[in-house]
Amino acid sequence: MNKLVFRTLAIVTMGLSPILDFAQNDTLRLTLDQALEIALSESNTIKMADMTVEKSGYAKKGSYAALYPNVGINGSYQRTLQKQVMVMDFNGMTQEIKVGRDNNISTSATASMPLVNAQLWESLKLSGMDVELAVEQARSSKISMISQVKQAFYAVLLAQKSYEVVSAVYDNAQKNYEKTEQRFNVGKASEVERLRAQVTMMNAEPNVSSAANAVLLATWQLKAVMGIDLGTNVKVVGDLNDYTHEMLTPFVSEDVLDNNSTLIQLGIQDRMLESTIRMQKKQYLPTLAASINYNYSAMGDNELRWFPSSTAALSLSIPIFDGFQKHYSIKQSQVNRNMLALQREDTERNLRIAIRNFNDQMALCVKNYQAANSTVEVAQKSYEISEKMYEVGKATLVELNDAQTALQQSQLTQAQAIYNFMVAKASLDEMLGKEE
């Protein structure tokens, strides 16, 4: 039985060596800072956000093209296959006259640009706000990515801690079975007691495999969030107990939403709607444009004769009536802005409720950790005493198993409290717009 157990654990450990082996040369050892650095450079989400900013920048530069002269050159050639005939009366006689030339060539160069166009100038401001919105969306993606990586990293630490606890439980159960078997062989333990110790050991074995698989799955999730290949061997370095100082350090509840990305984006969208309304109102204003045209043409049958011509023009456009189209467009934009104001109000209210909830969760986690910490110390002492008493025959196996279960539960509760605190803190930092 013991050989079979050892073989099973050996196979499980070998299969999970990328996660559980501490000394492999091809294994990437990750701290939280390193995981964040890799995620911000390799994640497709961050790359797409940067591309969106780049695209918006190009769009803004392209909108300024309307301020520059629009220059073009045109050319055409026309061959007359059959000339048009005109019929005219001269002194009572009808004469037919063919009109036109066999060859007609024309080239022209034109240049035009707006001189006064208030709507165009306002649209340029709107393009600048598009870039500002894209930059803020990229910042939001970065903040969200940091929170996701942190939570995935903490999940791996929790899985590793659970694996350590259940492995220790299995080791203790195996030692207790060996001791019980020795006592049984010398007649100091009953057959029931030996079988109970064996069942306890066998029940602990699947928990080790499940905990090892949980480490593997949590590590895959971390790699997926970071944007690296799932086949990369990764070992997460650290322990949940490393973050106890953050739990026990007094923290001030924060509810300042000045850096919240969602509210900032809503603010930018409000300014964009305001600019849109101004742009729509400026459609009532006249526009003035200038243009220059130079034309060089030639006509002839066998010999071409060239004739240049040029014009310069000012074009004034004054809108008078369009069936109230502009009026109703402005009304729609004003309604959209009012709806956005209500959305912002609801969003801010929900964010403040969420902040209050996260602060309460963190405070509760601190209390749970402190209670679990005291329980772990007591449970550890209780188990050690029960183990020694069992060795000398003054405690039953049931009492020893109860002490071990209490110790295991308190250790897992302690680790869970740290994990819950750090996850809540990461979510709160994301909501407050912290980029660290």
DSSP 154-201: HHHHHHHHHHHHHHHHHHHHHHHHHHHHHHHHTTSS-HHHHHHHHHHH
Q: Is the pLDDT of residue 216 over 80?
A: yes
Q: Is the pLDDT of residue 153 over 90?
A: yes
For the ranges 199-203, 275-279, 318-322, 400-404, which has the lowest average pLDDT? Answer: 400-404
Question: What's the mean pLDDT in 401-411?
Answer: 84
List of E strands, 44-174: 70-79, 84-90, 93-99, 103-116
Q: Is the pLDDT of residue 221 over 70?
A: yes
Q: Is the pLDDT of residue 113 over 60?
A: yes
Q: Domains (ranges, CATH) in the chain?
A: 2-68+116-285+324-432 (1.20.1600.10)
CA 265 to chain CA centroid, nearest Å: 15
For tokens 């350090």, name the residue. Answer: 249
> If we measure between CA atoms, which residue out of 224, 337, 239, 272 comes closest to residue 124?
272
User: How far is the C-alpha of 397 from the C-alpha of 107, rounded, in Å?
Assistant: 106
Q: Is the pLDDT of residue 53 over 70?
A: yes
pLDDT value at position 366? 92
Question: What's the mean pLDDT in 97-115?
Answer: 88
Question: Token digits for 386?
Answer: 């029960």
Please, which contacts does 136-139 make with residues 24 or more away whose CB atoms are closer than 8 Å?
136/261, 136/264, 136/265, 136/268, 137/49, 137/52, 137/261, 137/265, 138/46, 138/49, 138/50, 138/52, 138/53, 139/261, 139/435
234 forms beta bridges with 28
Average pLDDT, the chain: 86
Task: List all residues 6 or more positions away from 182 whose beta carbon is below 8 Å from its beta carbon.
Answer: none
Task: List all residues 6 or more positions away from 364 whose beta carbon is below 8 Å from its beta carbon.
Answer: none
Q: Note whether 167 and 208 are within 8 A (CB).
A: yes
Cβ count within 10 A of residue 373:
15
> If we measure between CA atoms, which residue out of 349, 409, 350 comes closest to residue 376?
409
Q: Note whether 191 and 397 are within 8 A (CB).
A: no
- pLDDT tens per residue, range 295-320: 999 888 888 888 899 999 999 999 99
Share of the chain above pLDDT 70, in %: 93
Residue 64 is given by DSSP the state G
User: How far is the C-alpha of 416 from the C-alpha of 150, rounded, in Å?
Assistant: 15
- In which element (H, E) is residue 424 found? helix 397-432
In angstroms, what CA-CA distances link 390 with 183, 200, 383, 396, 400? 11, 15, 10, 6, 7
pLDDT band at 21 (very low <50, low <70, confident <90, very high): very low
